[in-house]
């Protein structure tokens, strides 16, 4: 449990930054661009896997997969640049920064919790939730006071949508993803998420 708590304490700020930047980029670029540019996290997963985990990630098939992902991301970025100037460039930059934090927290899980059989991923995300509730909520007051993000209580309909998204879109998907990171590798799990790109473009 101490190892899981330690992992959660390191993981939480990285996870929070990645998700906050990802969601912020949605307001400044298209969903397809956001999804594809976020997939450049495979570069950071590749580099950090080599540095932190000392994994043999420089095999040709892995490098080809990373290059294909980055190539598609670059095409989308240039397309956005030509179509809508600085507005989408801001969103693209936020998505790319989110990708870095994603690569960092993906590798952190494998680095601290190398064996899936010894640890419980649902407990990890339980600790992450507790840390968010205890330490992250004062940020709402700062955002409200500065006017960057005025705080309003959501309607019942919006609250149900948020709860459903938290359960399926965040909790369930993150637990399954975290297990895949530990069972395979940060790079394989990250590349696997690129399958969400065709769905985002529909």
**Nearby residues of 52 by Cβ (< 8 Å), 6 or more positions away:** 107, 108, 111
User: Judging by beta carbons within 10 Å of its beta carbon (0-12, 13-18, 19+), is residue 38 exposed, middle or buried?
Assistant: buried
Provide the 8-state DSSP code for 29: S
Q: List b or e across 77-87, with b for residues whose CB sees 16 or more CB atoms inside 10 angstroms.
A: beebeeeeeee
How far apart CA 131 and CA 133 sit, in angstroms, is 5
Of 123, 98, 133, the C-alpha closest to 3 is 123
- Please give the model's pTM, rounded to 2 decimal places: 0.74
Task: Mark out the alpha helices in the chain (DSSP H runs).
Answer: 2-26, 31-38, 41-52, 60-112, 121-131, 138-146, 156-164, 173-183, 186-192, 196-200
Phi, then psi, of 22 in degrees rounded to 5: -60, -50
Q: Is 11 exposed, middle or buried (0-12, 13-18, 19+ CB in 10 A)?
A: buried
Alpha-carbon distance 179 to 115, whole Å?
10
What is the structure's pLDDT at 196?
Answer: 66
Angle between helical axes of 31-38 and 60-112 (0-180°, round to 10): 80
Would you write out the chain's pLDDT as a tens digit for each of its 202 residues? 777 888 888 888 888 888 888 888 888 887 777 777 777 888 888 888 888 877 766 677 777 877 877 776 666 656 655 554 445 788 888 988 998 998 888 888 888 876 665 667 778 888 888 888 888 888 888 888 888 788 888 888 888 988 888 888 777 877 788 888 878 788 888 777 776 666 655 5
Q: Determine whether 100 is exposed, middle or buried from the number of CB atoms within 10 Å of its CB (0-12, 13-18, 19+).
A: middle
Terminal alpha carbon distance of the chain: 42
């Amino acid at each position: 449990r101490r190892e899981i708590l330690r992992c959660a304490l390191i993981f939480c700020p990285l996870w929070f930054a990645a998700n906050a930047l990802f969601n912020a980029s949605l307001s400044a670029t298209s969903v397809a661009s956001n999804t594809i540019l976020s997939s450049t996290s495979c570069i950071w997963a590749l580099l950090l896997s080599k540095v932190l985990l000392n994994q043999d990630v420089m095999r040709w098939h892995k490098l080809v997969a990373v290059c294909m992902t980055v190539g598609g991301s670059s095409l989308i970025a240039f397309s956005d640049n030509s179509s809508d100037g600085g507005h989408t460039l801001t969103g693209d930059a936020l998505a790319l920064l989110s990708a870095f934090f994603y690569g960092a927290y993906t590798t952190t899980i494998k680095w601290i919790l190398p064996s899936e059989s010894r640890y419980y991923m649902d407990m990890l995300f339980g600790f992450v939730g507790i840390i968010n509730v205890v330490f992250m909520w004062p940020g709402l007051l700062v955002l409200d006071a500065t006017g960057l993000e005025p705080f309003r209580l959501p309607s019942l309909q919006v609250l149900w949508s948020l709860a459903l998204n938290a359960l399926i879109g965040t909790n369930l998907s993150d637990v399954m993803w975290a297990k895949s990171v530990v069972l395979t590798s940060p790079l394989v799990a990250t590349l696997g998420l690129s399958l969400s790109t065709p769905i985002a473009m529909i």
